[in-house]
Amino acid sequence: MKYKNNISTAVSLTAALVIGSCTSSFAATDWKIAGGDSEGSSQHAFGLKFVEQLEAKTNGEYTGTLFMNSQLGSEQDTVVEAGLGTLDFSILAINNVTPFSPTVGIFTLPYVIQSLDEAELLTQGEVGAELVENTVKDAGVRIVGWAYTGFRVLTNSKQPIETLEDLQQVIVRVPKNEIMIDTYKAWGGNPTPMAWSETFTALQQGVVDGQDNPYVTVDAMKFDTVQKYVTNIRYIFSIEPLIMSESVYQAQTPEVQQAIVEAGKAATKHSAEFLTANEARIKQQLIEKGMVITDPANGEKEWIEKATTAVWPKHYDSIGGKDKLNRVLRLLGRDEV
């Protein structure tokens, strides 16, 4: 009996080892995906869809784990890490890619993109395709999808801000992005460049009074707990690409590369749907939580004039020449400059 038991134990163990070894030879490759924002954000919704689609398109052989809330470093650090090949993917705001590949600055030039439709047209058309090539060359990262988060609105803890004179009363955190810093300077404001990962604490401790980011991000990051006033400016429509380490991408078979690109496209589509379905609800929720929303004075006229006249010409060179801006304006049906 004892002998029989030993045999059956041995058989089960062998079976387990065989199954174990089969499982490990088919084990999923689990890529690390960094995200600067918290759960509930556009980045998170995009990332979940990307992973779902990646698994579906590779029969579960490839997956990804999301590390949200800057767990893997500040957004700008993740560009460097992905460029070096020590990080697989990152989802981050386009403004944090610009220092490493300046031509993507076209998407942070103030008052260029004026709607979700325009953001989709540019990112998914010839302009987006050119920027994908540029980021590969400049930074060693490949954009494989685009999340859309809505207009970056201005929040602060001190007072309602309607005019550029009001803006001078507050210190505003801005990303380390020359175009955005110059925009605040053109407005006569007090920009303090700071990494995204440090922003909540800086707001909480009163190191800065305000910041700008879309409603969806303000909500996901719980900024309503440290900010009261919102100014409904529309200077930048926030675009958040999924970047992939080019060296990791090039190490894949053509089939896996195709699966990555297709998963990125599906997540891009989902992101637009997520924004459309949730932005108004989230804005209302922020009002219910006590945030006070005001519109900029005179239909934002002075804000627009100051930013476009001072900042556009200053950054023609960094975005690749005035022609690049004119191509975008033509595509959007606007007058060239």
Which residues contact ligand MLT by CB under 6 A? Answer: 36-37, 75, 92-93, 95-96, 175, 196, 213, 217
Between residues 70 and 103, which has the closer beta carbon with respect to ligand MLT? Answer: 70
Between residues 242 and 259, which has the closer beta carbon with respect to ligand MLT? Answer: 242
51 close to 270: Cβ distance less than 8 angstroms? no
94 close to 108: Cβ distance less than 8 angstroms? yes
List the 62-67 sheet strands across, edge first: 62-67, 29-35, 89-91, 237-245, 141-151
Report the alpha-carbon angle 254-141-82, nearest 5: 105
SS3 of 40, please? coil
Q: How are beta strands 292-294 and 229-231 bridged, if at all?
A: parallel
The least distance separating ligand MLT from the CB of residue 252, rounded to whole angstroms, comes to: 26
Report the alpha-carbon angle 99-41-182, nearest 5: 30
- 163 DSSP assignment: S
Between residues 58 and 78, which has the closer beta carbon with respect to ligand MLT? Answer: 78
DSSP string of 261-310?
HHHHHHHHHHHHHHHHHHHHHHHHHHHHTT-EEEPPGGGGHHHHHHHHHH
Query: Of all residues in this chain, which one has the CB nearest to ligand MLT in the complex?
Result: 93
The least distance separating ligand MLT from the CB of residue 254, rounded to whole angstroms, comes to: 31
Between residues 58 and 69, which has the closer beta carbon with respect to ligand MLT? Answer: 69
The least distance separating ligand MLT from the CB of residue 175, rounded to whole angstroms, comes to: 4
The least distance separating ligand MLT from the CB of residue 335, rounded to whole angstroms, comes to: 29
Distant-in-sequence, close-in-space partners of 258: CB < 8 Å, separation ≥ 6: none
Structure tokens at 158: 């001190």
- Report the DSSP beta bridge partners of residue 32: 65
Between residues 29 and 197, which has the closer beta carbon with respect to ligand MLT? Answer: 197
102 close to 137: Cβ distance less than 8 angstroms? no
The least distance separating ligand MLT from the CB of residue 302, rounded to whole angstroms, comes to: 23
Q: Which long-range contacts (CB under 8 A, 24 or more apart) does 254-261 make?
A: 256/58, 256/62, 259/54, 259/57, 259/58, 259/62, 260/54, 260/144, 261/144
The least distance separating ligand MLT from the CB of residue 197, rounded to whole angstroms, comes to: 9
Q: How many angstroms from the chain centroid is the CA of residue 26?
A: 32
Question: Which stretches of 26-163 are DSSP H helices?
Answer: 42-57, 75-84, 116-123, 126-139
The least distance separating ligand MLT from the CB of residue 179, rounded to whole angstroms, comes to: 13
The least distance separating ligand MLT from the CB of residue 256, rounded to whole angstroms, comes to: 27
Between residues 87 and 93, which has the closer beta carbon with respect to ligand MLT? Answer: 93
Structure tokens at 297: 């004075």
The amino acid occupying position 34 is A
The least distance separating ligand MLT from the CB of residue 36, rounded to whole angstroms, comes to: 4
Between residues 58 and 231, which has the closer beta carbon with respect to ligand MLT? Answer: 231
